[in-house]
């Protein structure tokens, strides 16, 4: 289940043309610059400090790898709970523009969860506590606590306690 808010737009042009009405352009530029700078900073402490300036909620000891792309329009909808890891070149999005509407939704990466390299997490999704999302996965639905998930789209493969999915 994805937690999405649907925003309708006037007919005519597709919804992407409406982005300046959805979010102030100066705020988007500010977020873009901070998120882009953070992509190249190796210091986790400094990176987390910079990302918090965008409104992201980042827990204690959360670790964000190099080249991670966060949603620069709605970063305030992202929560990284304590001790989670976001791997190299992962992408976390909180919006999606469609032809006749756009949608926004919060993304939560749970306590001690791992989103591995090159994975993409879509708007409105929660990655549960202690869950692992394998590399190059597309997360378009919630991943439960203690699950190991992967693929396109990501599916639960097994649970970390050794249990197999039904």
* pLDDT given for residue 160 in this prediction: 79
Element (H, E) at 45: helix 44-52
Q: Is 78:107 a contact under the CB 8 Å cutoff?
A: yes
> HSE on the CB side for 164, CA within 13 Å?
1
pLDDT digits (tens, 9 = 90+) for 43-72: 999 999 999 999 999 999 999 999 999 999
Taking every pair of C-alpha atoms in the chain, what is the biggest distance, in angstroms? Answer: 52
Q: Is 101:6 a contact under the CB 8 Å cutoff?
A: yes
The whole-angstrom separation of Cα 144 and Cα 146 is 6
What is each CA distance from 163 to 75, 115, 146, 158, in whole angstroms?
A: 35, 20, 10, 6
Active-site pick, 7, 24, 95, 111: 95
pLDDT digits (tens, 9 = 90+) for 124-138: 999 999 999 999 999
Mean pLDDT of 17-23: 93
**Domains with residue ranges and CATH for the chain:** 14-158 (2.160.10.10)
Question: pLDDT-derived band of residue 161, with 50, 70 and 90 as boundaries?
Answer: confident
Percentage of residues of the chain with pLDDT beyond 70: 96
Active site residue 95: yes
pLDDT digits (tens, 9 = 90+) for 73-113: 999 999 999 999 999 999 999 999 999 999 999 999 999 99
Question: pLDDT-derived band of residue 165, with 50, 70 and 90 as boundaries?
Answer: low
* pLDDT given for residue 2 in this prediction: 85
């Amino acid at each position: 289940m994805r937690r999405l808010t649907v925003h309708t737009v006037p007919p005519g042009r597709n919804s992407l043309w409406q982005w300046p009405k959805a979010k102030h352009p100066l705020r988007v530029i500010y977020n873009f610059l901070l998120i882009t700078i953070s992509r190249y900073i190796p210091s986790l402490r400094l990176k987390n400090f910079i990302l918090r300036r965008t409104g992201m909620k980042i827990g204690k000891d959360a670790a964000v790898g190099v080249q991670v792309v966060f949603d620069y329009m709605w970063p305030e909808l992202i929560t990284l709970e304590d001790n989670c890891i976001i791997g190299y070149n992962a992408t976390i999005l909180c919006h999606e523009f469609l032809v006749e509407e756009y949608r926004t939704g919060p993304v939560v990466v749970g306590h001690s969860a791992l989103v591995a390299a090159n994975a993409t997490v879509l708007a409105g999704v929660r990655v549960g506590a202690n869950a692992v999302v394998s590399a190059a996965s597309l997360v378009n639905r919630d991943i439960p606590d203690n699950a190991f998930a992967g693929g396109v789209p990501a599916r639960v493969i097994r649970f970390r306690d050794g249990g197999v999915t039904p």
